[in-house]
């Protein structure tokens, strides 16, 4: 049995909790996180869900994702999901999400992290993940079109790849000029 904090529209905790699998009241929201790991070659670490998993069985997905449980900060939930699903320990305590996407029942914080990961060193959670691999943007988009990847908006996948090395929504000419110096 899993419990989540209930948030209001302004993303403030209400002091109430919600049991996974029950319906949220109108005006109540919960926090979800996703972490996308990229390597130096610009590929994203993706996972294939188990065939017996409820929802999106056997499909490929971005690195990890899941709901924050009672008491979790966004960063704590991100670190917990990374360790639970693929056995990767990263310190994200001082990291803000690159993006937050609102959805009908909550807030989805998305972390974009560049780090080298040896796939053979990962410990996959048997109840959730059957395989991992590196994939470039084109491969992920191809899998979405084939129906073998969770059907994210293709523009969202492109945005994740575009944003992986930057913060904010405005291109900074100063950063580009200073990197030339």
In angstroms, the CA 181 to CA 174 distance is: 11
| C-alpha count within 13 angstroms, C-beta hemisphere, residue 69 | 6
pLDDT value for 99:
96
Phi-psi map region of 52: left, alpha, beta (phi>0 left; psi -120 to 50 alpha): alpha
Q: Tell me how far apart the alpha carbons of residues 6 and 9 are, in angstroms, rounded to a whole number.
A: 10
Whether the pLDDT of residue 179 is over 80: the answer is: no
Residue/partner pairs of 53-56 with CB below 8 Å, 24 or more apart: 53/127, 53/128, 56/150
Write out the H or E segment, with its range, that includes residue 144. Answer: helix 137-146
Query: Can you give the pLDDT at residue 168?
Result: 82
Render pLDDT for 43-96 as a digit per residue (tens, 0 to 9): 999 999 999 998 899 999 999 999 999 999 999 999 999 999 999 999 999 999
Look at residue 122 in the predicted model and tell me its pLDDT.
Answer: 97
Asked whether the predicted pLDDT for residue 173 surpasses 70, the reply is: no
- pLDDT for res 171: 76
């Amino acid at each position: 049995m899993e419990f989540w904090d209930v948030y209001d529209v302004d993303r403030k905790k209400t002091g109430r909790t919600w049991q996974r699998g029950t319906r949220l009241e109108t005006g109540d929201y919960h926090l979800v996180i996703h972490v996308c790991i990229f390597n130096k070659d610009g590929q994203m670490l993706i996972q294939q869900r188990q065939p017996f998993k409820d929802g999106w069985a056997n499909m490929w997905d971005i690195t990890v994702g899941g709901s924050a449980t009672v008491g979790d900060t966004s960063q704590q939930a991100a670190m917990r999901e990374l360790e639970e699903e693929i056995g990767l320990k990263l310190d994200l305590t001082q990291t803000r999400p690159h993006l937050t996407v609102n959805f009908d029942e909550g807030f989805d914080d998305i972390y974009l992290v560049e780090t080298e990961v040896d796939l053979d060193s990962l410990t996959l959670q048997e109840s959730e993940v059957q395989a991992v691999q590196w994939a470039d943007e084109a491969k992920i988009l191809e899998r979405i079109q084939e129906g073998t990847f969770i059907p994210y908006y293709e523009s969202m996948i492109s945005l994740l790849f575009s944003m992986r090395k930057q913060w904010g929504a405005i291109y900074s000419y100063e950063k580009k000029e200073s990197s030339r110096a």
